Amino acid sequence: MEEKNMAAASGNAGTEAETPAAAPAAESEKTFTKQEMEDIFKERLDKERKKFPDKKQLEAFKAWQESVSRADSQKNADELAAEKVAAAENARAEAEKALAMREAKIAALARGVSPEAADDVIALAMSRVNDDVSVEKAIEEVIAKYPSFAGAEKPAAPITTGVAFGGNSPSVSGVEAAFLAKNPGIKI
């Protein structure tokens, strides 16, 4: 164990001995005069200034940038105007379509189509409309093909379940007769 302590002590002693020797090397560093420092700064400053544009180049860039922004704003104004025109045309087309549907519904109801079937008749008639066939004519064709859409409704047939209810027959089943015999005060 003593050998390890001695080795550690000798290791520490070696580093202490090296430290004073390193100090003179640090003192031998070059020192600069004030003029030398100014020259170094000027060189570095000139290098950095070369990276940036001069006043003429900067003014030319700003002028170019303004002309591009004016052209973009003019283009945007034209695009906005075109979008407004397209939106107005779409709104007009929708309004015309809604008007045509209302007129078709009026025409269908005027020809005797039941209100419940009016939308169905219009849908069938619109598929037949073209340059040669008007909406009114198409509605007449649909009514001719499907007369059930016309207002002449069939009388509703009574729905039966197969079991007779009520009626004039006072017949009483066997179970009811037995019940009434045991309970004479109850009326059914």
CA separation for the pair 134, 128 (Å, rounded):
9
At 1 the pLDDT is 47
At 166 the pLDDT is 60
DSSP states of the chain? -HHHHHHHHHHHHHHHHHHHHHHHHHHTS----HHHHHHHHHHHHHHHHHHS--HHHHHHHHHHHHHHHHHHHHHHHHHHHHHHHHHHHHHHHHHHHHHHHHHHHHHHHHTTB-GGGHHHHHHHHHTT-SSSS-HHHHHHHHHHH-GGGBS-PPPPPPP--S---S-S-----HHHHHHHHH-TT---
Dihedral angle sign, alpha carbons of residues 114, 115, 117, 123: positive
**Structural tokens at position 87:** 């939106």
CA separation for the pair 81, 61 (Å, rounded):
30
For the chain, state the CA radius of gyration: 53
At 134 the pLDDT is 87
Q: What is the pLDDT along the chain (188 residues), one digit of tens a residue?
A: 455 554 444 544 444 445 555 555 556 788 889 998 999 989 998 888 888 888 888 899 899 988 888 877 777 778 888 888 999 999 999 999 888 888 888 888 888 888 888 889 999 998 888 888 888 899 999 889 988 888 655 556 667 776 666 655 567 788 888 888 898 888 77
The amino acid that residue 58 corresponds to is: L
CA separation for the pair 140, 107 (Å, rounded):
10
